[in-house]
Amino acid sequence: MGSKYWFDRAKQVIPGGVNSPVRAFNAVGGTPVYFKSGKGAKVQTEDGTELIDFCGSWGPLILGHARDEVVEAVSEAAANGLSFGANTAKEAEFAELICGCVPSIDMVRLVSSGTEAVMTAVRLARGFTGRQKIIKFNGCYHGHTDYMLVASGSGLLTGGISSSAGVSPSAAAEVFVAPYNDLNAVQEILRANGDETAAVIVEPIAGNMGLVEPAEGFLEGLRAATAECGALLIFDEVITGFRLGPTTFSTLCGITPDITTLGKIIGGGMPIGAIGGRREVMEKLAPLGPVYQAGTLSGNPVAVSAGMKTLQLLRDENPYPCMAELGKRLANGVDRVAAEKELALHCAQTGGLFTPFFRKEPVCNLDDSKACDAEAHARFFHHMLDHGIYTAPSSFEVSFISAAHTEADIDEYIQALETL
Ligand SMILES: Cc1ncc(COP(=O)(O)O)c(C=O)c1O
């Protein structure tokens, strides 16, 4: 019974057959792959095939699938109780670990997803500043809360419009949407709305329009502009947190946000999210302050155990230089093949994050990413899949190299690309 069988069956009882839209393969066509098991860098499918996985559950699996120590930590925690809805020593230790790894985080609150983390971060920024307006960037994804599903309105200085049915226009209107890497646009919005703006939220390296790095001075400019008008700066590090070093990207680039959101890696594959920041801001959260936030499964002991073991292994083993080397090897290989075969293709890469963009010119924002050849990406995706390589089934995503990948895995990727 293969993927097609399960997809047909799932479609009868799950909208679109999937529990998250990108899994439906709408961007690349064909039948979504059903995964059966994973170990290290490899997954087994319901079709009886083995794939090298460059998606890694969209980021959490930085140590690869089912790393023994993480599975042991999860099993041990589960055997001791799946959930208490009460405090555990482990969550205090985990919070200490995160605070110890990230200098800009004095205190941290655990939740169950990245979406929830962003929802709380935005509410906290509004509660702290007493202001309502938010600035976000086109192409940055911050989860699926109403006011983050917003696209640019008719102009820079008009509020956004909802990008999903069911989002109230009034929620969208409080959010301004600027092009990524466009500091002037942010300054213009702030000149007109600075004293009403609660926060600017940004992926400090964007991962949801493909991999787009911040232009020189962009993040520094956001820091200065927000500080000047009394708005908070939120770094959404759900992808970048603990991805490029055993800390956040903000620590690595030396820019201090007021609030950081985390998810993915800090749960080691279990559902988790976190909001962290400086004490003065974090103390506005209930029960200390007036900003309400709660969760039945927040700080869940099984998720915390998976996250704690993952962060400890990352700190102790420091696989980051190795992942960056593999990333470079892959990007160089893609660029070489693109040149040899005269393909309109280049590879953006930083550390173990990469995106093959199907155009020659660099990609600096969403418009650039949209200008890539989506059909060429879809052909590439299925070609790679047919050759045993699983990558993100959408051109607006990053792919991930884990500590479990080897040079041989990277070389297989390049060899597959050579026959495109
Ligand atoms: C930068 C960023 N923020 C927030 C989210 C939402 O996280 P979750 O899917 O855990 O709700 C994502 C998800 O991919 C993300 O990439």
Q: Which pLDDT value is given to residue 156?
A: 84
Same domain, 31 and 77: no
Report the number of distinct structural domains present in the chain. Answer: 2
pTM of structure: 0.98
141 labelled catalytic: yes
368 labelled catalytic: no
CATH number at residue 98: 3.40.640.10
Same domain, 256 and 327: no
User: Whole-angstrom distance between the N-terminal and C-terminal Cα of the chain?
Assistant: 29
Same domain, 161 and 34: no
Nearest alpha-carbon partner for 256 in 229, 235, 231? 235
> Which of 289, 316, 343 is the C-terminal boundary of a domain?
316
Which atom of ligand 1 is nearest to 203's Cα?
Answer: 1
- pLDDT tens per residue across all 420 residues of the chain: 999 999 999 999 999 999 999 999 999 999 999 999 999 999 999 999 999 999 999 999 999 999 999 999 999 999 999 999 999 999 999 999 999 999 999 999 999 999 999 999 999 999 999 999 999 999 999 999 999 999 887 788 888 889 999 999 999 999 999 999 999 999 999 999 999 999 999 999 999 999 999 999 999 999 999 999 999 999 999 999 999 999 999 999 999 999 999 999 999 999 999 999 999 999 999 999 999 999 999 999 999 999 999 999 999 999 999 999 999 999 999 999 999 999 999 999 999 999 999 999 999 999 999 999 999 999 999 999 999 999 999 999 999 999 999 999 999 999 999 999
The answer to whether the CB of 345 falls within 8 A of the CB of 377 is no
CATH number at residue 409: 3.90.1150.10
Q: Is 237 in the pocket of ligand 1 (CB under 6 A)?
A: no
Pairing of strands 232-236, 259-263: parallel
List the domain range (segments joined by +) for residue 200.
68-316
Task: Output the residue whose Cα is nearest ligand 1's atom 9.
Answer: 114
Same domain, 230 and 379: no
Query: How many CB atoms sit inside 10 A of residue 113's CB?
Result: 18
Task: Output the residue whose Cα is nearest ligand 1's atom 3.
Answer: 142
* Contacting residues for 415 by C-beta, under 8 A, at least 6 apart: 387
* 306, containing H or E segment: helix 301-317
Give the mean pLDDT of the chain.
Answer: 97
Q: Which pLDDT value is given to residue 154?
A: 78
Q: Is 236 in the pocket of ligand 1 (CB under 6 A)?
A: yes
Nearest alpha-carbon partner for 241 in 222, 263, 256? 263
> Which of 316, 342, 375 is the C-terminal boundary of a domain?
316
Helices within 174-294 (DSSP H only): 183-193, 218-229, 249-253, 279-282
Give the chain's count of helices (H) and strands (E).
Answer: 14, 16
Same domain, 43 and 186: no
Same domain, 16 and 80: no
Same domain, 385 and 247: no
Same domain, 311 and 323: no
Same domain, 123 and 236: yes
State the Cα–Cα distance between residues 157 and 159, nearest whole angstrom: 6
Percentage of the chain with pLDDT > 90? Answer: 96
Q: How far is the CA of 115 from the centre of ligand 1 (A)?
A: 6
Nearest alpha-carbon partner for 378 in 28, 101, 12, 16? 28
Same domain, 224 and 252: yes
> Which of 316, 349, 371 is the C-terminal boundary of a domain?
316
Same domain, 286 and 371: no
Same domain, 73 and 127: yes
Q: What is the pLDDT of residues 164-174, one digit of tens each?
A: 999 999 999 99
